[in-house]
Structure 1
Amino acid sequence: MTSISVTPQLSHGQLLNILNEQYGLVGELSDLPSYIDLNRKLTTADGKQLVVKIANIHQSADDLAFENLVINRLSQESSIELQVPSLISAKSGDDLIEIKDEQNQSCLMRVIAFLDGKIWAETDTSQLSFVESLGESLAQIDKTLATIEHPAAHRYLKWDIRHSNIIVRKYKSYIQNEVLDNTEENQTGGTKINLINQALQSYEAQVLPLYEELPSQIIYNDANDYNLLVNEEKQQVCGLFDFGDMVSSFRIAEIAIASAYAIMNKTNAEEIIGAMVQAYHQVNPLKPVEIKVLLPMIKMRLAVSLSLSSYQYSQSPENDYLLISQQGAWKALSQLDQIDAISFELKLMWLTELNSKQELEQPQDIIDYRKKHLSENLSLAYDEPLKIVAGRGAYLYNEKGTRYLDMVNNVCHVGHCHPGVVAAGQRQMSTLNTNTRYLHDNIVRFAEKLLSTMPKELSVCMFVNSGSEANELALRLARKYTNRKAMVVVEGAYHGNANACIDISPYKFDGPGGDGAPDWIKQTLVPDPYRGKYRGRNEETGLQYGKDVKRAIEALAQEDQPLCAFICESIQGVGGQVIHPPGYLKSAYAHVRDAGGVCIADEVQVGMGRVGTHWWAFQTQDVVPDIVTIGKPLGNGHPLAAVVTTQEIADSFVTGMEYFNTFGGNPVSCAIGCAVIDAVEQGGLMAHALQLGEYLQQGLRQLQSKFPVIGDVRGLGMFIGAEFVKDRDTLEPAVEQIDYVIERLKSEGILLTTEGPFHNVLKIKPPLAFSKQDADFFLSSLEMILTEQGAQP
């Protein structure tokens, strides 16, 4: 039995006869490539060139009528500068006729004008003007296509981006799972299937939920490098052909598809896409939701192409060209995988000025409003304040998409917008949020998780909303337990912004606008082994500073003020990232307890595994406090704090007066707290903090050996300080130099600030999402800046 070919079968002679009979055309025929159709070029006697297109036997007449409708409309549209092929009518006046091939099969035939020119794929299109003209041309075409409707536009098409995840899931198994070359374009070092899976996951997570919001219309849908003609002299696109993949789909897919091909074999994908988007938007304005989905959509188009071509190769393994042609797509997909998605989206929003339509104020407007309607006590970082609009992991982003490495934010402990933490809060908030007067599982689970990190003596939790609240509650507990008020505090310490906390914070009461120490406060020396009264990181230094706590206690006693409590940060924060010498807290606590006082460990800044070796910094001193206060990192940016104490102290607080905190311990906060602890444990973040902290300190000490302005490097885990001095003998603070370094680091995309009584200590306490690559970026940037004149002592 003879098989019937899907491709029409006609000799040149047979086709010339049909052309003469139906169109009155004569000339010479030459072959043109096609997948399953029959395409020929006709050159007439007067030199005119036409394309004869005979569709495969399965081609729908409705589909071709749809194409013809669009071609006619585009060719008549004066606003479209791009050439499109015009249709040649038969003698009957029809632009689509039915013929018989030599197998007596019915086929549909068209004749269209031949567009002469050089195709994109065979041209050096590295100049952005090519991309800009393509974006502008596609925008002009889409504006016209939006006015057209035809039933065939809604047919199923496997190249329709709306079906892309289904196509990739069906065909990705045909991809040869090789390790990607580690080239300039590809720095992933992963396997091909991993790259496809990442594209698929991004698409399903970020695009599928927005399907209903994305503008849809008929689009050209195939602006690939073999369907575009270019004018090399003018460096612009001049023609477009092959309308077979038109479909009603997402408008933004037009740009996604064009971008996928435009970035192939290029190394500046982000710049190319930005130029195309900006040019398109100026003609046919986009919506913010379209910008949001563009990057995962470009990745998905490439994933579809790679999956389908891999399937085709499995059916025709002798066709090595299918694998060779994939190389540009793999490089493009690898390059896209290196793009910071948040920065990319914000940059496109800025280029299109869509962000100005979403955001109410420009930075200076916000500054002016703050000065007029918010307290001027609210300070701003940097000479030119930043407007931060997004965060992810260890990075923050401004409204223009500029990315900044955040090395100072110990609040977002496990990383900005940690997915697990965000999801936990969203889930619980969508179900219930109430107060502790009702029973709920979350508060019990959270307490259990938190107490599991503590010494067994600390067995009672009380939940609040901030470190200030936690320290104020700790004072109430201590005073009720001891029936005393007098406190010993560390010079330069800060414990919060409530009145009671200001009273025990020398950083505030001895600072600008402060009223000095209350008469029931005595200060003890900062246990600073670098520039303090006693120097050296050894136990003898720790004992000497511990004795100074005893001196302060005795000074209170001489004034007939028995000690209530000693409160001390387990590592000094605003005091200058001071790591206590060995034995300090053990000595200090012994003196406090001998005097009948309570030991309060303020872990608001340094707790939750940041020190690497332990959950809590007080554990590095081999002590157990009576009360521990926890704040900033506990909620990863959500207002959540806690006080943990002994059963005995907790019992003393039960006097008949209810302790109730409207928001403390609510189900949402507790769900978030559980998620943060889980993230630390499951992500191995304590070990990470230890390892990376040691790496950072090692790098800083290498810089210290080269640059005398770094006088000291100190730290535990990812809580590190680098003190700047003009002279290593006199320890004169290098304030101007460190201010210069801070501003220069910002200009390099790194955010840091200073601490210490002289503001000459680099405060390094990034989110634990901070990576080795981030550390290398910081260290190399700092080294470069330290060579500059402004950093010299």
Structure 2
Amino acid sequence: EEERKRRRPPQVAAAQALALLRERWGLQEPRVVRELVSYDDRNYEVVDDASGARFVLKLHNGVESDKPPFLEAMNMMMAAIDAAGVPCPTPLPLTGSGSGGLTALGVELGGGGDASSSHAARLLRWVPGAPLVTDKAQTESEWEGCGEMVGRMAAALAELDPPPEALTRMHLWDLANFPSVGAYVSCIKDESRQALARAVLSDFDSEVASLAASLPRQALHNDANEQNLLVADGQAAGVVDFGDAVLSFRVAEAAIMLAYQALDKADRVEACAAMLRGYARAAPRLNEDELRVLPALVRARLCCSVVMGAYSHSQDPENDYLLVTQEPGWAALRELSLMEADGGKREAFTRRMIEAYADGCGGQ
């Protein structure tokens, strides 16, 4: 599926985007401000000059466009999260022809003929704020606030019972499927990094696999990274990008959040501890098995990010966004994987996460 996404990205001309905004959503004076970075979709910041309102026009890759139930599952998740008080980019209803839904299906994009392709499109409300990664003066309080926001999101998604059936899917970025990443390790040319990736895969097999069947599962955002957590004035402000949503291990939401929090930090352990404290205040309570596998899942997500980023860039060398976590990701993965005797912080990380989680739960 990752390879198919690479082969089927949306291609759109400015005139097509403007016509789409007028015809499907009734914007009177739409204007495309800029294209936003994306892994495999096309996203545009849009302003309606008639009203001054801002939006995101999201054109889905061809794989997701062929799966309307998955797109509706994302809409359902965002509605639940927004209702719980966590700002997120909920979709606007269609107007005019095809009105009544939230997703425009079968939108023909491209230059016509063989260059044309059919895609799904949604117009999303703009969430004010900036990605956490852009804040160069991050504070412990800000990290705790972001962790609490992810915890509130997890609590809201836990209420989707039963969760949308479309979230049960084979997805490489689902930590339950982490062993599948092993097929891509050979794309890593550096031998020491390749060995590290294989060691993380082995850790997953020995520490997580035997417990996997009993770990609680729920609907997940599945990508609470420093690009998708928004902040404003030092406070958590919202969550964006639900394209990796999946039904998987409940504890994975925390593990993914911590994996990206570990990037580019002077003290990774304490930075992660602050965010986990906030998460614990608001999220459904994790059980002993979930806490036991949490460190291994953090390493697994870091490994997935650097391996799949390298592989995807080899398939799409013009998209440098795919390399955003490479160097900081390998540095974090090495430090959190090595034992203290070898200069790492593996044991310290495990101990500190247990303490921080207990602190967030009120010492229980």
The TM-score with structure 1 as length reference comes to 0.40
The reply on whether 1:302 has 2:302 as its aligned counterpart is yes
Distance of aligned partners of 1:321 and 1:42 in 2 relative to their CA distance in 1, 3 Å threshold: closer
Deviations 1:101-136 (A, max 9, x none): 353643222111112322112112542222211221
Q: Does 1:156 align with 2:170?
A: yes
Alignment of 1:52 onto 2:35:
no
Q: Measure the CA separation in 1 of the matches of 2:38 and 2:346.
A: 38
Aligned to 2:224: 223
> Which whole-Å deviations, capped at 9, do the CAs of 1:737-767 have from their partners, x for residues lacking one?
xxxxxxxxxxxxxxxxxxxxxxxxxxxxxxx
- 1:84 corresponds to: 88
Contact 1:86–1:113 (CA under 8 A) maintained in structure 2: yes
Q: Deviations over 1:392-413 (max 9, x none)?
A: xxxxxxxxxxxxxxxxxxxxxx
Which digits, 9 at most, give the CA deviation of each residue in 1:513-552, with x for residues without a partner?
xxxxxxxxxxxxxxxxxxxxxxxxxxxxxxxxxxxxxxxx
Residues of 2 paired with 1:193 and 1:68: CA distance? Answer: 38
Aligned equivalents of 1:14, 1:280: Cα separation in 2: 42
1:300 Cα deviation (Å)?
A: 0.9
- Contact 1:269–1:335 (Cα < 8 Å) also in 2: no
The alpha-carbon deviation at position 22 of structure 1 amounts to: 2.3
Tell me whether 1:29 sits opposite 2:42 in the alignment. no
1:258 corresponds to which residue?
Answer: 257
The gaps in structure 1 that reach 5 residues or longer are: 179-190, 360-793
CA shift at 1:265, angstroms? Answer: 0.8
Match status 1:100 vs 2:105? no
Asked which structure has the greater CA Rg, the reply is 1
Counterpart residue identity of residue 31, structure 2? E
Name the structure 2 match of 1:204: 205
Contact 2:56 2:124 in 1 (8 A): yes
Q: Cα offset for 1:35?
A: 3.8
Deviation at 1:340, TM superposition (A): 5.3
Task: Report the 3-state secondary structure (helix = DSSP H, G, I; strand = E; otherwise coil) of the residue aligned with 1:88.
Answer: coil
Q: Tell me the equivalent position of 1:66.
A: 73
Could you give the per-residue CA deviations for residues 240-294 of structure 1, whole angstroms, max 9, x where no partner exists? 1110101111111111111111111113122122222222222222212111111
Cα 1:126–1:116 shift into 2, 3 Å:
closer
8 Å Cα contact 1:135-1:279 kept in structure 2: yes
Of Structure 1 and Structure 2, which has the larger fraction of its residues in helix?
2
Residues 1:208 and 1:56: Cα distance change in structure 2 (over 3 Å): same
2:146 aligns with 134
Shift, 1:39, TM fit: 2.3
Unaligned regions of 5+ residues in structure 2, if any?
A: 1-6, 339-343
Contact 1:126 1:266 in 2 (8 A): no
Q: How far apart in 2 are the matches of 1:159 and 1:291? A: 20
How far did 1:342 drift?
4.9
Tell me the percent identity: 29
SS in 2 for 1:312: helix
Give, in angstroms, the shift of residue 152 of structure 1. Answer: 0.9
Alignment of 1:219-618 (within 5 A): 219-231=220-232, 233=233, 235-284=234-283, 285-316=285-316, 325-338=325-338, 341-342=346-347, 344-353=349-358
- Tell whether the 8 Å contact from 1:260 to 1:301 is kept in structure 2 after alignment: yes
Tell me: CA distance 1:221–1:125, structure 2 relative to 1, closer, same or farther (3 Å).
Answer: farther
Distance 2:215 2:299 in 1: 17
Give 1:318 deviation, angstroms: 6.7
Contact 1:42 1:50 (C-alpha < 8 Å) held by counterparts:
yes
**Which letter maps to 1:215?**
P
Q: How far apart in 1 are the matches of 2:319 and 2:58? A: 25
Amino acid at match of 1:87: P
Structure 1 pair 201–10 and aligned structure 2 pair: CA distance change class (3 A): closer
Instruction: Summarize the Cα distance change of 1:18–1:278 in structure 2 as closer, same or farther, 3 Å threshold.
Output: closer
2:315 is aligned with what amino acid?
Q
SS at match of 1:14: helix
Residues in 1 aligned to 2:40 and 2:204: alpha-carbon distance in whole angstroms: 31
User: In structure 2, what is the equivalent of residue 17 of structure 1?
Assistant: 19
Asked if the contact 1:100–1:107 (Cα under 8 Å) also holds between the matched residues in 2, the reply is: yes
1:3-45 residue CA offsets vs partner (Å, 9 max, x unmatched): xx73334322233223222221032123423344332222111
| 2:306 and 2:325 in contact (8 A); partners too | no
What is the count of residue pairs matched by the alignment? 335
Of 125, 128, 133, the match for 1:116? 128
Secondary structure of 2:62 counterpart:
coil
Q: CA RMSD in A?
A: 2.5
| Residues 152-191 of structure 1: pairs in structure 2 closer than 5 A | 152-167=166-181, 169-177=182-190, 191=192
Q: 1:173 Cα shift?
A: 1.1
Distance 1:194 1:41, change over 3 A: same
Deviation for aligned residue 1:198: 2.4
Structure 1 pair 30–286 and aligned structure 2 pair: CA distance change class (3 A): same
Structure 1 residues 310 and 10: CA distance shift in structure 2, 3 A: closer
Correspondent of 1:42 among 22, 46, 59: 46
- Cα distance in 2 for partners of 1:322, 1:36 equals 10
Q: 1:240 to 1:197 in 2, by over 3 A?
A: same
**Distance in structure 2 (CA, Å) of the matches to 1:28 and 1:147:** 38
Q: Which residue of 2 aligns with 1:143?
A: 155
Deviation at 1:313, TM superposition (A): 3.6
* Contact 2:41/2:61 (<8 A) preserved: yes
TM-score (norm 2): 0.84
Match of residue 341 from structure 2: none
Q: Retained in 1: the 8 A contact 2:91–2:125?
A: yes
Amino acid at match of 2:186: S
**1:8 corresponds to:** 10
Shift in Å at residue 320 of structure 1? 6.8
Distance 1:290 1:225 in 2: 23
- What's the counterpart of residue 758 of structure 1? none
Contact kept in structure 1, 2:128 and 2:237, CA below 8 Å = no
Please tell me the residue identity of whatever aligns with 2:249.
Answer: F
Structure-2 change in CA distance of 1:337 and 1:57 (3 Å): closer
Q: More relative contact order in 1 or in 2 (CA 8 Å, sep 6+)?
A: 2
Change (3 A) 1:353 1:21: closer
CA distance in 2, matches of 1:237, 1:260: 18
Task: Flag the 1:65–1:125 CA change in 2: closer, same or farther, 3 A.
Answer: farther
Aligned counterparts of 2:356 and 2:324: Cα–Cα separation in 1: 35
Letter in 2 for 1:249: S
How far 1:333 moved relative to its partner? Answer: 1.0
Separation (CA, whole Å) in 2 of partners of 1:24 and 1:324: 36
Asked if the contact 1:165–1:300 (Cα under 8 Å) also holds between the matched residues in 2, the reply is: no
Write the letter of the residue equivalent to 1:96. T
Conservation of the 8 A alpha-carbon contact between 2:39 and 2:321 = no
| AA in 2 matched with 1:124 | K
CA offset at residue 322 of structure 1?
5.2
Aligned AA for 1:301? Answer: R
Partner of 1:75: 82
1:305-357 Cα distance to aligned partner (Å, 9 max, x none): 11112223433557677557411101111221245555544444344449x99
Assess, with a 3 A threshold, how the Cα gap between structure 1 residues 53 and 352 changes in structure 2: closer, same or farther: closer
Distance 1:280 1:303, change over 3 A: same
2:231 is paired with a residue whose SS is strand
- SS of residue matched to 2:145: helix
